[in-house]
């Protein structure tokens, strides 16, 4: 079997628990865009996101990296959702890039239209990003998203995945994991929380469209995230990146733990990081120190019931999900020398 190579992460840091120190130890040219003084601050301070919002972090990381990669020639279309609401109520805006919000389910199509306008008016240097949460992407925006993939329109779609409809008050989406408590999957009755064997993997569905680039990323791994966004902007055609963004409010987690929780999701195998080109997986981010799924779950009240003895079967089911991811993407297999 062909060994899937690890993604091109330049440097790895010793896990001190925060990672914040690591960037400063690097040579200047290896530092992240976020670490530079000339980052674009595309999503500027003063917005209304909750404390510890993973989506605000993810959007800032991704858009700043995309701005760097496109020489600041960027337009973004945004789906309805937290990101739209907390960044813009008129007359204020936290965006320093041209930005449009139209509807919940049409960000991909709006972005396709912008890309077509750029082509028609001879401004091919201006690149287009569509962005939305998991509800706006995997559910209501799915038709337009698939259409954008199908036409291979020159758009990078970024999904900030916090695994439920947070803006409307934490309801289940097709990205909500099994057993998770949401306002529409309450932890009551038998098998409390969200049902297992439901949901979908949009990254894998994106790959089935044979688009040039698909990747998953996480807010805990800034180097990897910026590398993937930068790589995506170097490609023409339809691209998809899903970024794992913990939501303290919806998940019942400590705001200061957002980055840590994101890391535990990846290190437990619950959220595999990989990239794919033209429908084939071309790289994975290996798990460096595997943790049991319980370590990830115990950081979040949405899984509190799973850790009770009565629901041990749910814990086993979630561990099986992680194990399956680890096997499928070879997340723990050592690289060949």
Partner 1 sequence: MLKQVEGSHAVAEAVGLCRPQVISAYPITPQTHIVEDLGAMVKSGEIKGCEFLLVESEFGALSACIGSSAAGARSYTATSSQGMLFMMEAVYNASGMGLPIVMTVGNRAIGAPINIWNDWGDSMSARDAGWIQLFAESNQQSVDVHIQAFKLAEQLSMPVMVCMDGFILTHSYTRVDIPTQEQVDQFLPPFSPRQVLDPASPLSMGAMVGPEAFTEVRYLAHHKQQEALDLIPKQAAEFEAIFGRDSGGLIKKWDSDGAETVVLTMGSVIGTMKEVLAGMREDGHSIGAITLRSFRPFPTAVLREALKDAKRVIVFEKSLAVGMGGILSMNVRMALQDHPLKVHSVIGGLGGRPITRANLRRMFEKGLRGELEEPHFHDINMDIVNREIEREKSQWKSGSTAENILQDIGVVAAAKTI
What residues make contact with partner 1 under the rule CB under 8 A?
72-75, 77, 84-85, 88-90, 93, 95-103, 105-106, 109-122, 126, 143-144, 146-147, 150-151, 153
Are the CB atoms for 320 and 268 separated by under 8 Å?
A: no
Tell me whether residue 63 or residue 159 sits nearer to partner 1 (CB atom). 63
Tell me whether residue 23 or residue 146 sits nearer to partner 1 (CB atom). 146
Rounded CA-CA distance 210/204 in Å is 10
Tell me whether residue 202 or residue 266 sits nearer to partner 1 (CB atom). 202
Rounded CA-CA distance 44/64 in Å is 10
Tell me whether residue 129 or residue 264 sits nearer to partner 1 (CB atom). 129
> For residue 45, what are the CA distances in angstroms to 214, 295, 324, 329?
29, 32, 39, 37
CA nearest neighbour of 53 among 81, 90, 89: 81
- Closest separation between CB of residue 250 and partner 1, Å? 20
Tell me whether residue 79 or residue 261 sits nearer to partner 1 (CB atom). 79
CB atoms within 10 A of CB 126: 18
- Closest separation between CB of residue 330 and partner 1, Å? 34
- Closest separation between CB of residue 146 and partner 1, Å? 6
Rounded CA-CA distance 138/173 in Å is 8
Rounded CA-CA distance 317/186 in Å is 18
- Closest separation between CB of residue 228 and partner 1, Å? 22
Q: In sequence order, which residues have a C-beta less than 8 Å from that of residue 25 and are 6 or more positions away?
A: 13
- Closest separation between CB of residue 88 and partner 1, Å? 4
Q: In sequence order, which residues have a C-beta less than 8 Å from that of residue 245 and are 6 or more positions away?
A: 53, 54, 55, 57, 58, 160, 161, 162, 219, 262
- Closest separation between CB of residue 44 and partner 1, Å? 11
Tell me whether residue 37 or residue 120 sits nearer to partner 1 (CB atom). 120
- Closest separation between CB of residue 117 and partner 1, Å? 4
Tell me whether residue 124 or residue 310 sits nearer to partner 1 (CB atom). 124
What is the 8-class DSSP label of residue 42? S
């Amino acid at each position: 079997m062909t060994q899937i190579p690890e993604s091109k992460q330049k440097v790895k840091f010793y896990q001190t628990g925060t990672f914040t120190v690591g960037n400063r130890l690097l040579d200047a040219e290896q530092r992240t865009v976020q670490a530079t003084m000339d980052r674009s601050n595309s999503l500027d301070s003063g917005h209304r996101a909750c404390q510890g919002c993973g989506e605000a972090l993810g959007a800032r990381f991704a858009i700043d990296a995309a701005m760097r990669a496109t020489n600041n020639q960027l337009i973004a279309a945004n789906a309805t959702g937290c990101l739209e609401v907390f960044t813009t109520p008129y007359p204020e805006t936290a965006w320093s890039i041209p930005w449009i919000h139209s509807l919940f389910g049409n960000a991909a199509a709006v972005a396709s239209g912008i890309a077509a306008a750029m082509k028609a008016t001879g401004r091919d240097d201006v690149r287009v990003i569509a962005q939305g949460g998991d509800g706006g992407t995997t559910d209501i925006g799915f038709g337009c998203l698939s259409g954008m993939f199908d036409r291979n329109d020159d758009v990078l779609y970024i999904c900030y995945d916090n695994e439920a409809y947070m803006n409307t008050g934490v309801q289940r989406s097709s990205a909500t994991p099994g057993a998770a408590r949401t306002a529409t999957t309450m932890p009551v009755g038998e098998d409390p929380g969200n049902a297992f064997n439901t949901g979908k993997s949009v990254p894998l569905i994106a790959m089935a469209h044979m688009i040039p680039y698909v990747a998953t990323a996480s807010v805990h791994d800034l180097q990897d995230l910026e590398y993937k966004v930068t790589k995506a902007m170097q490609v023409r055609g339809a691209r998809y990146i899903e970024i794992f963004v913990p939501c303290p409010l919806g998940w019942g987690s400590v705001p200061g733990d957002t980055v840590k929780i994101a890391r535990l999701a990846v290190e437990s195998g619950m959220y595999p990081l990989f990239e794919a080109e033209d429908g084939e997986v071309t790289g994975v981010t290996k798990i460096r120190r595997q943790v049991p799924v319980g370590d990830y779950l115990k950081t979040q009240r949405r899984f509190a019931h799973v850790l009770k003895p009565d629901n041990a079967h749910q814990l086993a089911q979630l561990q099986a999900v992680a194990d399956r991811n680890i096997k499928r993407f070879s997340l723990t297999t050592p690289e060949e020398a």
